[in-house]
Copies of this chain bind each other. A is one copy, B any other.
């Protein structure tokens, strides 16, 4: 019962199963998507042309029984946003179902006849290519609902109108347990790649699938126990810990206190309205509006088997579901960075993003750029909702906004552009938190906090305590986090297991043992960093062949000369230090 790769050719609407070839055999999740992209996609191809491929891969342990919080699905391709290699992963239902069909990866190749759109239905018996006319142009809430009418309880991977228009901030939605489109492989415009393949949605039904083979049950179970224990012991992830209680937005007040909460298009690190959009405020709203029952909740899981449950359902005033989920990044990007302190607006804006199919980080940053460019005033919540809504119809403004920060900056003549490799920065100001800035600058993914989350030691005191304002040792710190992350992104585990396993050694070893147990590979905790670096090396080499150089590993110019309040700091990490992060890639050449 070996894993298969399912290749779907959109040129002629054919498909085939193949054994996982040796060169991909050891990989899962991000390792798998990056290996396939590296080996099979011309780094110089147009991301929206016929020669790009979209690879979908569950993690190593995804679909196994009760591996905690392990339901992530990786999506990979050449990115239309960064023009480099991209992996973005999401929770929701897809990972486990794909894995249980015995699939290590689904690869979408080619492009169909212009104007043709399909819903792919994947079952144990193969692939059906259904005309997608009935759901074309629809938002993802309606798409998920309609598809469950015909295919109940399936995983639905889909794109909103933004992806159909191939806009470079289009994400890929995965439905959650309530069949809502809140789980997004958001970053890097992979929804546009899916759109370029003429695929509106992919339905995955694992009924009767073979399930996931586990090579060494004993090792797997022992690892699982130690990892679970670590998660349940750590202050951030345990029951009633920081993440389940307040969600990721627990960070709003913390970053604001640290002077590192980017505000009004990265012009300050402090937002006067932070408390109003914090995790604490979200919990309060939920408590208030759902005191007598209702759908709002904290401690909501984004996929079956999650034991951390950092997600939430944000309620309307009457307690009914408004949107799931208001994350830290979402609250920050659409809120603080636009100078808006209204949670209800943030929830509405998130709903639009989830529905029309945009990454919320890039979308919020984009609104901030539009504000700086004079389209709106900072703080104009109604205006922001209006701009996002224009994406539905593909008005020219909607097409600008739907492309993200760089396109919007160009359209409105803004030169303060907080991007690296074409992708905008998340919710940590690199001038005030230097390590994460090193990650933004150097990760092959474009500015991305999840690519090497040095916030753990720099802000949360997890895995040690490091001064966020200091430049010292930040290259090595970032590399360690980038490598560990690549491994975790390959495992199918949620990145938040990093908090407990960084602090609790048995958790780290346990994680590695679960992977070793499933895959039958000789992997221990000592191999995590090296295997992560193998993945990073594939990704870096892809980007080099796509024309990336050291100059692409730089934060934007304005951060070097513009002082950020309240610390009044500029970017001071040297280019040499940045180049040090990846100097090992060619060390053996």
CB <8 Å contact, B556 and A545: no
CB <8 Å contact, B557 and A551: no
CB <8 Å contact, A413 and B166: yes
Residues of B within 8 A of A173 (CB): none
Q: Which A residues, 525 to 554, have Cβ-Cβ distances below 8 Å to chain B?
A: 545-552, 554
Residue from B168, B395, B399, B410 in contact with A168 in the complex, judged by beta carbons closer than 8 Å: B410
CB <8 Å contact, A48 and B166: no
CB <8 Å contact, B551 and A413: no
A177 interface residue per 8 A CB criterion: no
Residue from B165, B403, B417, B548 in contact with A46 in the complex, judged by beta carbons closer than 8 Å: B417
Residue from B44, B417, B554, B558 in contact with A551 in the complex, judged by beta carbons closer than 8 Å: B44
State the copy count for this chain: 2
- How many angstroms between the C-alpha atoms of A333 and B397 in the bound complex? 26
A126 interface residue per 8 A CB criterion: no
The closest CB in chain B to the CB of A554 belongs to: B44
A21 interface residue per 8 A CB criterion: no
CB <8 Å contact, B196 and A413: yes
Residue from B44, B196, B395, B557 in contact with A396 in the complex, judged by beta carbons closer than 8 Å: B395
The closest CB in chain B to the CB of A404 belongs to: B410
Q: Which A residues, 447 to 494, have Cβ-Cβ distances below 8 Å to chain B?
A: none
Residues of B within 8 A of A50 (CB): 561
Residue from B45, B46, B407, B547 in contact with A411 in the complex, judged by beta carbons closer than 8 Å: B407
- How many angstroms between the C-alpha atoms of A326 and B496 in the bound complex? 63
CB <8 Å contact, A415 and B48: yes
A400 interface residue per 8 A CB criterion: yes
A262 interface residue per 8 A CB criterion: no
- How many angstroms between the C-alpha atoms of A154 and B100 in the bound complex? 77
Q: A165-B413, A396-B395, A415-B48 are in contact. Are A547 and B552 (CB under 8 A)?
A: yes
The closest CB in chain B to the CB of A192 belongs to: B413
The closest CB in chain B to the CB of A164 belongs to: B413
- How many angstroms between the C-alpha atoms of A413 and B550 in the bound complex? 29
Residues of B within 8 A of A552 (CB): 547
Indicate with 1 or 0, residue by residue over A390-416, a CB within 8 angstroms of chain B CB atoms.
000001110110010001001111110
A71 interface residue per 8 A CB criterion: no
Residues of B within 8 A of A196 (CB): 413, 415
Q: A407-B407, A410-B403, A415-B196 are in contact. Are A557 and B46 (CB under 8 A)?
A: yes
- 6 contacts across the A-B interface (CB closer than 8 A): A46-B557, A165-B413, A167-B411, A396-B397, A399-B412, A407-B407
With A46-B558, A399-B412 known, 7 other A-B pairs at CB within 8 A are A42-B557, A51-B561, A80-B410, A196-B415, A400-B400, A546-B551, A548-B549
Chain A residues with a Cβ under 8 A of chain B: 42-51, 80, 165-168, 192, 195-196, 395-397, 399-400, 403, 407, 410-415, 417, 545-552, 554, 556-558, 561
